[in-house]
Structure 1
Amino acid sequence: MVRQCPFSFIFFLQQQQHLQQGGTLKKQQAPQILPAFVNRHHRAPSNSSLGSAGRSGSGVSSSDVYPYRHLRKQSSLLSVLGVTSMQEILLTITSLDSLSEAMRKAGLETTNLIFGIDYTASNKYQGEESFGGRSLHTIHQHVKNPYQQVITVLGRTLAQFAGGQGKIEIYGFGDAKTGDWSTFNLKPNGDCRSLDEVLDVYNTVTPTVALSGPTNFAPLIYQAMEICQKSRDYHILVIIADGQVTNERATRRAIVQACQHPLSIIVVGVGDGPWDMMRIFDESLPKRPWDNFHFVEFHEIMKKSSSVEDGDVKLAVQSLLEIPDQYRCICELGLLDRSIPPRGSEIRREMMHNPL
């Protein structure tokens, strides 16, 4: 049974309304209502100013209102391995299986996977430097493209944590039919039951997709939120994308909304970039009760690897480092047991009729 947490999202929303009306928060308020797990890691707020993306607008820093933003600096995975840095982790973890075992010891019990595939037209030229000038979606019998590599590596690492019936869902976005307002299921007649099936579906469907755009993660994130609402299970949404989002405000809003669900979001950037906006999302998103978003750059990791196997391990470690702590925080906040009104569909319809 998941232990419930006294933290209230109603209180969280009341805080925001209070701040927007020009009020101030007493610094002792937030720690008093946080779960024990978060309190153990609370640090004194920093006096350093935040960038514009991280300001609350009221003179109160996000570290004052959201002390649990420091969770990512208290990695239980590092503690389990007895190390203190990413470099030491990469020396200790030498295979995907050993990473899976370390994540289990760090507290991850079960998860479900959702893959999001970027089908925007920029995939045609984003491999100019990083993929030999080929489209990032090139299907070749003997050479995996970046999308296939990411699916394989993260799928293998997380396979043993599969909950329920071991379903893996895979959605596309940014194609000519869905544009920036919807998604499509690569397997509309049922979910994939294995990693091999995910790859088979991707390999079969991708050549038939008309690449288009623009890039908007929001519909995919709302789709994942709806899945969490129905199952009340923990999910990891892995978004594999080739560039910057064009609707920054909608994507920001979706990431913040997703904090009310047992959902971790990992964006793996493939192709030549740039990745400035993704780094801002990863480090500076305001108004979140816990850190639910992480970004890694695929080709930067692979360039610094000594072999394909070494690159696979580094990609998995850097992508999944925060997952055990995110899962533990989700359990502490009671998100797995919460019945949340199905707002995902409503918000998506609102986006269609009133673009941000």
Structure 2
Amino acid sequence: MGSNEYLSAIWAVGQIIQDYDTDKMFPALGFGAQLQPDWKVSHEFAINFNPTNPFCSGVEGIVQAYSNCLPHIRFYGPTNFAPIINHVARFATQALQQDTAAQYFTLLIITDGVISDMDETRHAIVQAAKLPMSIIIIGVGNADFSAMEFLDGDSSALRSYTGEEAVRDIVQFVPFRDFRNAPKETLAKSVLAELPQQVTQYFKQRNLSPSNTKPE
């Protein structure tokens, strides 16, 4: 599968969700690739190759950084989700100190459906469910997405390998192939189907009222 579908997904979904961020500066991370100069496999790297400042300006900045990084990496397994989820969870953990409903983090994962660390990912999601955080997974290509649908947890509560149950559902899975020829509004409805409820549910559980700023 070429990069075009990844780019299409970045454009389409990014334009839907970017307006929910006030400054539109997005940290963009890659995983499942070998990086120069020694071609070691990385499961968590800034696609602009600036780990101290992985932020991209708007969807255009993400697309530019992604396009620029492609010639310098080799896609390589295994594909692990847990490091990326835990990366964002560290930021969300810092937001636990807030006394108003001001900060909420949304991790957008674009993947071809292959996942190698299911146990670790389940555990990471169960822990992240306690934080001001949601995960939107966009599946590209024609792979078997049963693992993604399992993580979505719509049919039953997701459990960690330790048996701990997620306190709330924070994952929304969207197969991009179902929306290739659909209007933007149809894709938007699916991408955002659960996010507003997830945000309000979290802040209600914490008894936090909205501030004057929009959530991140």
Residue correspondence of structure 1 range 59-208 to structure 2 within 5 A: 127=1, 135=2, 137=3, 145-163=4-22, 165-177=23-35, 179=41, 182-187=43-48, 188=50, 190=53, 191-208=55-72
For residues 204-230 of structure 1, the C-alpha deviation after alignment (integer angstroms, 9 at most, x for no partner) is 112211111111110110011012234
Counterpart residue number, 1:244: 114
For residues 33-68 of structure 1, the C-alpha deviation after alignment (integer angstroms, 9 at most, x for no partner) is xxxxxxxxxxxxxxxxxxxxxxxxxxxxxxxxxxxx
For 1:258 and 1:172, how far apart are their aligned partners in 2?
Answer: 19
For 2:177 and 2:200, how far apart are their aligned partners in 1?
Answer: 30
For 1:174 and 1:253, how far apart are their aligned partners in 2?
Answer: 19
For 1:336 and 1:146, how far apart are their aligned partners in 2?
Answer: 39
For residues 299-341 of structure 1, the C-alpha deviation after alignment (integer angstroms, 9 at most, x for no partner) is 12225x3xxxx1x33222111111110110111122979xxxx
The counterpart of 1:273, out of the listed 131, 143, 147, is 143
Secondary structure at the counterpart of residue 176 of structure 1: strand
Higher helix share: 1
Counterpart residue number, 2:212: none
TM-score if structure 2 supplies the norm length?
0.79
Counterpart residue number, 1:331: 203
CA spacing shift, 1:214–1:299, aligned 2, 3 Å: same
Report the CA distance between 1:173 and its aligned residue: 0.3
Structure 1: gaps of 5 or more residues: 1-126, 128-134, 138-144, 338-356
Secondary structure at the counterpart of residue 28 of structure 2: strand
Shift >3 Å, 4+ stretches: 177-180
Amino acid at match of 1:146: E
Q: What CA RMSD, in Å, does the superposition of the two structures yield over aligned residues?
A: 2.1
Secondary structure at the counterpart of residue 240 of structure 1: strand
State percent identity of aligned pairs.
29
Higher strand share: 2
Which range moves more in the overlay, 150-159 or 242-251? 150-159
Report the CA distance between 1:192 and its aligned residue: 1.5
For 1:223 and 1:158, how far apart are their aligned partners in 2?
Answer: 20
Amino acid at match of 2:128: A
Secondary structure at the counterpart of residue 131 of structure 2: coil
For 2:208 and 2:104, how far apart are their aligned partners in 1?
Answer: 7
Report the CA distance between 1:277 and its aligned residue: 1.3
Counterpart residue number, 1:227: 91
Report the CA distance between 1:290 and its aligned residue: 0.8
Aligned: 1:209 with 2:67? no
For 1:197 and 1:279, how far apart are their aligned partners in 2?
Answer: 30
For 1:244 and 1:216, how far apart are their aligned partners in 2?
Answer: 9
For 2:16 and 2:150, how far apart are their aligned partners in 1?
Answer: 27
Task: Work out whether residues 260 and 335 of structure 1, in 8 Å CA contact, stay in contact via their aligned partners in 2.
Answer: no
Task: Work out whether residues 26 and 57 of structure 2, in 8 Å CA contact, stay in contact via their aligned partners in 1.
Answer: yes
Amino acid at match of 1:225: A
CA spacing shift, 1:327–1:213, aligned 2, 3 Å: same
Aligned: 1:253 with 2:123? yes
Decide which structure has the larger Cα Rg and report it.
1
Residue correspondence of structure 1 range 312-327 to structure 2 within 5 A: 312-327=184-199
Counterpart residue number, 1:58: none
Amino acid at match of 1:242: D
For 1:184 and 1:335, how far apart are their aligned partners in 2?
Answer: 35
Task: Work out whether residues 186 and 202 of structure 1, in 8 Å CA contact, stay in contact via their aligned partners in 2.
Answer: yes
